[in-house]
Amino acid sequence: MIHSIQIIKQIDRILGPVLLKIFPRALKKKKRSPHPNKILIIRPGGMGDAILLIPVLKAVSKKIKPANIDILCEPRNQEIFHAVQFVNNTLSYKNPTDLISVFRKQYDIIIDTEQSHFLTAIITRLLKADLKSGFHVNGRQKMYTISIPYRHDIYEADSFWNLIAKTLDFKESFSWDFPYFKQEKKNFISDICFEKYICVFPGASIDERLWPEKSWAKVIDQLTQFGWKCVLLGSHKEINQCRTIIKYCKTRDIINLCSQLTILETTLVLKKSSLLISTDSGILHLGVLSDVSTVSLFGPGIEAKWAPKGHNHLVINKNLDCSPCTKFGTTPPCGNFKLCMLKITPMDVINKAKKLITLNE
């Protein structure tokens, strides 16, 4: 999967600017449709972007009735959009049948939420819709009838809201509106449900955001001494990492759910937990949308853009001169031995966790 994503990015980098020059500028519509309801949202990219788009989609579904919302996204993120009730169709851009369906359909509005790459802008230009919008970056604005600048210094959910609010002429600011996910009827969680437990997600999409397994083990051991069970979360990618953490732990009182849950089941485990401790990751955002308090570890990522907001969310960030170094989803190879993450100590995490636990008791 990672190899195919890299190939697509290379094609985008080489071919995208050329196609952008070839295509004429999109014609500006004088008026919005008075009753738009057929809406296509284009959302490539990682899990975090997909999750932080969900609150905005719910707001659209409540303000525009009936709203028929289609999502064109990465195959890996289809499960995320299947977990909510306000998306009508979840389509993969790698599925030829899905792509043909999108190209045949006449939409009222198409919103391209990609932040920098070119190919989604080209696709938006080719599709049929009265109104097309996207971010004003790298000359992509010529493909849209409406565009706004993209900023790195505001929360990502706010960026999506600003784009969609401009497109649909919403006047209010972004606000949370829980719950976001479907409620699972089967009470599978009863088998692992305790009076109090803390979820721990140690994984990350890139190595530069990882924290040492021995440090995770020290945090888990300390929290166990305080009387809290720890539940390890993750996908198949984190299986070996979670096994290593368990090996380093002194306590054996750990629940390892790594690679055992669907996205929807993960939201249920998070919702019943007292706290989520996580790296800068998609699971962190899943925790926020599950309405659970979080302690997050930030290094190369942009805290202003990706860190959860509010008194129930605490961020640990050493703010080194070299960080953040990520821009438009790309993190350069680290020449500083990943110090931004290594300087975070287990006591940093434990103290933040204790603070939130005390606050919520």
Model pLDDT, residue 232: 98
Model pLDDT, residue 186: 57
CATH of 15-168, one of 3.40.50.300, 1.20.1090.10, 3.90.1150.10, 3.40.50.2000: 3.40.50.2000
**Residues 195 and 229: beta-carbon distance below 8 Å:** no
**Other CB atoms within 10 Å distance of the CB of residue 107:** 20
Cα 257 from chain centroid (whole Å): 21
Model pLDDT, residue 187: 59
Question: pTM for this structure?
Answer: 0.93
Q: Which residues of the chain have pLDDT under 70?
A: 1-4, 29-32, 184-194
Where along the chain do the CATH 3.40.50.2000 domains lie? Answer: 15-168, 191-360
**Residues 182 and 82: beta-carbon distance below 8 Å:** no
Secondary element (H or E) of residue 146: strand 146-149
Model pLDDT, residue 2: 54
State both tokens at 229: 């069970």
CA distance 144 to 100: 21
Model pLDDT, residue 360: 82
CA distance 204 to 280: 7
Model pLDDT, residue 327: 84
Model pLDDT, residue 350: 98
Instruction: Output the CA–CA distances (angstroms, integers) from residue 81 to 42, 57, 109, in the order listed.
Output: 12, 10, 19
Residue 7 backbone dihedrals phi, psi, to 5 degrees: -65, -45
pLDDT (tens digit, 9 = 90+) per residue, 41-63? 999 989 999 999 999 999 999 99
Minimal CA–CA distance to 231: which of 261, 253, 200, 252? 200
The domain over range 191-360 is classified in CATH as 3.40.50.2000:
yes
Backbone CA torsion sign across 297, 199, 258, 283: negative
